[in-house]
Structure 1
């Protein structure tokens, strides 16, 4: 049962929320420059420190207040890290490691503070959500934002390991962690879990029971919140068609059948890839 909010805790919550929003604005307006040759960048370390400070502020309140503002902070942090994945494989970026470590510790705290367990394996007998539950889940239940935030961090950690080809087993481990976080009706969460399930299939690490359960559990979520579709998705690089593919972690609009195609299309896609900024409040 969630703790009651007293007037004092409400003020603290509002202060933290406003602080994170201010950090997001400052990060978005900080000038950065990337050299085409050599992989050097200017200003990204400043943005990374802004994100690190915002994460530290969010962790000051226990339990962490999970909402759309916090999810946006994590999403933008992951976009920053994702845009430097290739650079970090050839040039050491100290801020990259520090910010990544902050995310891992953040996800551990979110997991420790949750009131529910993840699904191991996913439960086929769980009934679909009712329409009244959907409204509560999307707009009022902080646990859903907690799940979505954890899933995004797990997915990026898996992607980072797979991209660098340093530890495929660890990539598989975190794709599985992402998939087994309980589903929500937040579209970003659904896309992330579908991409994680596709990655497990691509890496030959699927468990038939868990995979079928995941599809059963998320199909009702997909049909109600996103609209069901039986069409295949085409790889943005080679054109190969599949029902489910990993999606670009930054724009979430370009799909790839594997890491090779993602890397091959990087130069072309970087000209297209844009981040849609979410608005909070008025």
Structure 2
């Protein structure tokens, strides 16, 4: 089964002297170590875990040590919450989300016991960062990465509820400020989805007047509403899901409850953007904060 590799721009150096991943349960510190020594030990432990991640293989021929690496990633993520946040944790999160996205098609045909567990670990971690006192560059970059991954997983699943959830997390992805180029690229792909997805273009009941929207017979059709999450590589190299979607259940008589474009909160009565008449917000504060981001995809901008 062909794999879906969404992050080919990550260049990782292989450790050719070791073909086996060796994991440890946790980072151990000598009883008489100083705080500085503990920090250095932790950084070394974290860097080693990231290095181990370059040894696993996932491609058209299948997986090599992915299950063992998933367990190790999860252990290191738990350990990381006991230490000060640093750039290596962002790289760890990147590798974990990359691994999930590589396997999101495989999990539909094979049982991957680690997949849902690792995904939930990441989702909880993003929530903890959101609820924390600090909202710095690293925190935002990590949340952007996890939100993008979560949205992509929902998008790939392709059901009506999944597509609505994908929009919620793509909005969360683009709502956070960041100076990191990689995370800005993720936000760009999220913006593309929000601007091109049929539900995102909904401005009146006319889009739901027909019972179905069909793409071409080709499974890789660019008009497919069930295409895989916005790729960071040419779409021709990524396999797509079926190119048609029934919208008969999305009758205009049952309007969707649209989440706040900034925080994702859902209310029955929410003000909308005065220009596109679509994007809703739970408060004037959220509208003001989200305006620079929404301007990129506002249909009447």
Decide: shared fold, TM above 0.5. Answer: yes
Unaligned runs of 5+ in 2: 1-32, 204-219, 224-228, 242-301
Q: Give me the TM-score of the superposition, normalised by structure 1.
A: 0.58
2:168 is equivalent to residue 179 of structure 1? no
1 CA distance for matches of 2:174 and 2:193? 10
Name the CA distance, whole Å, in 1 between partners of 2:138 and 2:202. 27
Deviation at 1:29, TM superposition (A): 2.6
1:195 counterpart (166, 189, 192): 189
- Aligned mates of 1:115, 1:34 — CA distance in 2: 38
Indicate conservation of the 8 Å contact 1:20/1:57, yes or no: no
Paired position in structure 2 for 1:26: 52
- Greater share of residues in helix: 1
Unmatched 5+ residue regions in structure 1? 1-6, 117-142, 209-236, 241-245, 266-282
Taking structure 2 as the reference length, what is the TM-score of the superposition? 0.54
Picking from 59, 62, 71, the partner of 2:90 is 71
* Structure with greater Cα Rg: 2
- After TM superposition, the structure 1 = structure 2 runs for residues 136-147 of structure 1, keeping only pairs within 5 Å, are 143-147=136-140
**Could you tell me how far 1:72 is from its partner in structure 2?**
0.7
Q: Aligned pair in 2 of structure 1 residues 148, 255: CA closer, same or farther (>3 Å)?
A: farther
Which of 143, 155, 172 does residue 150 from structure 1 map onto?
Answer: 143
Contact 1:89 1:164 in 2 (8 A): no
Report the CA distance between 1:16 and its aligned residue.
2.5
Q: 1:159 aligns with which of 144, 152, 163?
A: 152
Written as runs of structure 1 = structure 2, the 5 A alignment for 1:37-52 is 41-52=63-74
Tell me the CA shift for residue 202 of structure 1: 1.8
Matches of 2:181 and 2:58, distance apart in 1: 32
> CA contact under 8 A between 1:238 and 1:261: conserved in structure 2?
no
Q: Any idea what the Cα deviations from partners look like across 1:149-177, whole Å, max 9, x if unmatched?
A: 10010000000000011411111110111
Corresponding residue of 1:106: 125
How many residues get paired?
186
